[in-house]
């Protein structure tokens, strides 16, 4: 029995979207992370936006500013995206004030506060405010997302409580180079973990992205990817 033309067209559209999803995320498995170049952003620069207030709150809590960083100019984001790094005086918590353009022209910029702590087994815990849903990290790198309007002081307190609840001993960072080196190592581990998951990576990602709508909005894309395993190897079907 020949399937109705409508169902064939619908499946073709699902396959197209699923293929695009694989293509746009392929760099998560194969590309090395952006090289980070040092930059300087004046404290009164308009680009700081709401992050200026977050910085003042962090400094009042004993965080010292370490420097500003931006993606390489080759990526086309220099001058539009930046990260300001801070470190608490005891070295156990770093803070990233992150800004990047919105996903579309009419979307506001991302203005995120990220707190991070590492432990003796090289695992970590991050608390994120204002950051959109991200691709899954390797399980040893825990992530907690909080409301965008949560005060920074409360965010730091909750981060400390979650770290204490792990029962692990935080390993202090010495300086910004120590932080960046650890983040690069974490990125390499996560990229290998994502690659090894295969289709299951897309299931985890779509479940995170679609939530309660997974069966309707996420599962069809995952099943399409599962039916076309060569997409994951950047290969085209014969013919």
Q: What is the predicted pLDDT for the residue at 114?
A: 96
Cα–Cα distance, 73 to 76 (Å, whole number): 5
Residues facing 39 on adjacent strands = 68
If one compares 35 and 205, the residue with the highest pLDDT of the two is: 205
Token code pair at residue 149: 């309007």
Q: What is the mean pLDDT of residues 208-212?
A: 85
Token code pair at residue 65: 């500013």
Cα–Cα distance, 12 to 6 (Å, whole number): 10
Half-sphere exposure of 237 (CA within 13 A, CB side): 4
Q: What is the mean pLDDT of the chain?
A: 84
Residue-wise pLDDT tens digits, 80-138: 678 899 999 999 999 999 988 766 666 788 899 999 999 998 899 999 999 876 778 88
Q: Residue 144: enclosing H or E segment and its boundaries?
A: strand 141-146
Contact 84, 55 (CB under 8 A): yes
Q: What is the predicted pLDDT for the residue at 220?
A: 92
Question: Which range, 5-19, 91-105, 158-172, 211-225, is most confident?
Answer: 158-172
Q: What is the predicted pLDDT for the residue at 97?
A: 94
Cα–Cα distance, 20 to 14 (Å, whole number): 10
Which distant-in-sequence residues (6+ apart) come within 8 Å of 180 by Cβ?
36
Indicate the pLDDT class of residue 2, thresholds 50, 70 and 90. Answer: very low
Q: What is the predicted pLDDT for the residue at 237?
A: 44
Q: What is the predicted pLDDT for the residue at 4?
A: 54
Residue-wise pLDDT tens digits, 46-69: 778 889 999 999 999 999 999 998
Indicate the pLDDT class of residue 235, thresholds 50, 70 and 90. Answer: very low
Q: What is the predicted pLDDT for the residue at 72?
A: 55
- The end-to-end CA distance of the chain, in Å, is 25
Buried b (16+ CB within 10 A) or exposed e, 79-94: eebbbbbbbbeebbbb
Q: What is the predicted pLDDT for the residue at 3?
A: 52
Q: What is the predicted pLDDT for the residue at 66?
A: 94
Residue-wise pLDDT tens digits, 148-197: 999 999 999 999 999 999 999 999 999 999 999 999 899 889 888 888 88
Q: Say yes or no to pLDDT of 28 above 70.
A: no
Judge if pTM exceeds 0.85. no
Q: What is the predicted pLDDT for the residue at 229?
A: 86
Q: What is the predicted pLDDT for the residue at 95?
A: 98
Helix (H, G, I), strand (E, B) or coil at 219: helix
Q: What is the predicted pLDDT for the residue at 80?
A: 65
Token code pair at residue 100: 């990047």
């Amino acid at each position: 029995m020949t399937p109705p033309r409508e169902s064939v067209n619908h499946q073709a559209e699902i396959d197209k979207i699923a293929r695009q999803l694989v293509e746009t995320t392929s760099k998560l498995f194969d590309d090395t992370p952006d090289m980070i170049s040092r930059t300087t952003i004046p404290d009164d620069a308009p680009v700081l936006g709401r992050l200026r207030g977050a910085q003042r709150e962090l400094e009042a809590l004993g965080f010292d500013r370490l420097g500003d960083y931006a993606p390489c100019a080759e990526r086309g984001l220099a001058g539009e995206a930046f990260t300001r790094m801070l470190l608490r005086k005891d070295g156990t918590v770093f803070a990233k004030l992150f800004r990047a353009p919105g996903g579309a022209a009419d979307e506001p910029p991302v203005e995120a506060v990220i707190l991070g702590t590492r432990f003796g087994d090289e695992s970590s815990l991050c608390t994120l405010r204002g950051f959109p849903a991200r691709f899954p990290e390797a399980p040893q790198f825990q992530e907690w997302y909080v409301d965008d309007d949560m005060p920074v002081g409360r965010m730091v307190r909750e981060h400390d409580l979650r770290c204490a609840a792990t029962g692990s001993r935080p390993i202090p960072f010495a300086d910004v180079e120590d932080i960046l080196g650890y983040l690069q190592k974490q990125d390499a581990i996560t990229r290998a973990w994502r690659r090894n998951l295969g289709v299951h990576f897309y299931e985890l990602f779509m479940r995170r992205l679609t939530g309660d709508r997974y069966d309707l909005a996420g599962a069809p894309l995952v099943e399409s990817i599962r039916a076309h395993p060569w997409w994951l190897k950047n290969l085209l079907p014969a013919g």
